[in-house]
Structure 1
Amino acid sequence: MKKGKAGDWMQPNQPTGDWQHLPRASITAERQYVGIKYTIYLLLIGTATVVQIKWLDLSPWWMWILTGLWTGFFLLQFVYVPKMRQRYFKYRVDDEFLVVEFGIFILRHVVTPLVKVQIIDTSSGPLLRRLKLMNMSVHTASGQIELPGLEVTQAGILRQRIERFAKLEEQEEESL
């Protein structure tokens, strides 16, 4: 066992490196997405209300309940969730592992050996491209890890690090 930075004891193969958080622009991107999604929901609720009043001659009392629920979910997803995701989602990469930690009530800690990575997928829609962000998915045989809203340069560096390690490991296997 060796001594860590803060004076605590750590395992020899424990991942090291600095934790990386999502950029502040990811909050803006998520809020824009939520705004578009909930605007569509509001249009559907409004259309259903007009149809009920005009053509079906029904009292739309239940639409007030639906609108209240819509407003509550909208405020939660627009105001609080993006800030919480940016604050509590973190990851780090060293020479052997990709470690992702996220969650508020249920903390998830996912450690993926880089030798197990099969596919690295990056994507960015119009909202993300405008803010110079992209999503990254790291696929293994047992599942995938999502890294949402990374800066383009940060995602490129991360992708190169993972690819470089996977290529080195592949070359070592071929030489055996």
Structure 2
Amino acid sequence: MVVPLLIFLIFKKVNKRFYKITDDMLMVSKGLFETHHTYLEIFKVQNIKMKQNIFQERNKVADLILQTASGKIKIPSINFEDAIKIYNYTLFKVETSKISWM
């Protein structure tokens, strides 16, 4: 009885995770019972990391961690090519932005 419930909850949590990126904004959603949306203006990113463990490397996925003044936002297990594109685009937007983030 417990195993099917755990499988259902894990499946539901994985299906609720998504991200959407536009020219100026990044939206990351996650949750189990309710969905939490996080909106981030790309020019406010202070640090960006791309992490991959050996299992992710084999499956060609990576985690992106975006750090702002208010905390970290993680985009877990996205396609490696998409992760590189988002990484490069974010660096480009941060370096070329003339907007003050404070």
Which TM-score band (shorter chain)? 0.7 to 0.9
Q: Note the residue ranges of structure 2 that are not aligned, 5 or more in a row.
A: none
**Rounded Cα–Cα distance in structure 1 between residues aligned with 2:21 and 2:40:** 10
Matched, 1:113 2:41: yes
Q: Give the letter for the 1:118 counterpart.
A: Q
Structure 1 position 91, deviation (Å):
0.9
Q: Give the letter for the 1:129 counterpart.
A: E
Provide the TM-score with structure 1 as the length reference. 0.51
Conservation of the 8 A alpha-carbon contact between 2:9 and 2:32: no
User: How many residues in Structure 1 have an aligned counterpart in Structure 2?
Assistant: 99
Q: Residue 26 of structure 2 corresponds to which residue in structure 1? A: 98
Q: Give the letter for the 1:72 counterpart.
A: V
4+ residue segments displaced more than 4 Å: none
Structure 1 position 144, deviation (Å):
0.8
Show CA shifts across 1:109-152 (max 9, x none): 11011111011111111111111111111110100111111111
Conservation of the 8 A alpha-carbon contact between 2:16 and 2:35: no
The 1:128–1:75 alpha-carbon spacing in structure 2 relative to 1, beyond 3 Å, is farther
Q: Residue 164 of structure 1 corresponds to which residue in structure 2? A: 92
Provide the TM-score with structure 2 as the length reference. 0.83
Specify which of 41, 66, 86 is matched with residue 138 of structure 1: 66
SS state of the match for residue 46, structure 2?
strand
Q: Residue 72 of structure 1 corresponds to which residue in structure 2? A: 2
**Rounded Cα–Cα distance in structure 2 between residues aligned with 1:148 and 1:81:** 18
Q: Which has the higher helix share?
A: 1
The 1:148–1:161 alpha-carbon spacing in structure 2 relative to 1, beyond 3 Å, is same
**Rounded Cα–Cα distance in structure 2 between residues aligned with 1:116 and 1:103:** 24
SS state of the match for residue 95, structure 1?
coil
SS state of the match for residue 37, structure 2?
strand
Specify which of 16, 26, 46 is matched with residue 88 of structure 1: 16
Show CA shifts across 1:45-86 (max 9, x none): xxxxxxxxxxxxxxxxxxxxxxxxxx937961xx33442233
Q: Residue 50 of structure 2 corresponds to which residue in structure 1? A: 122
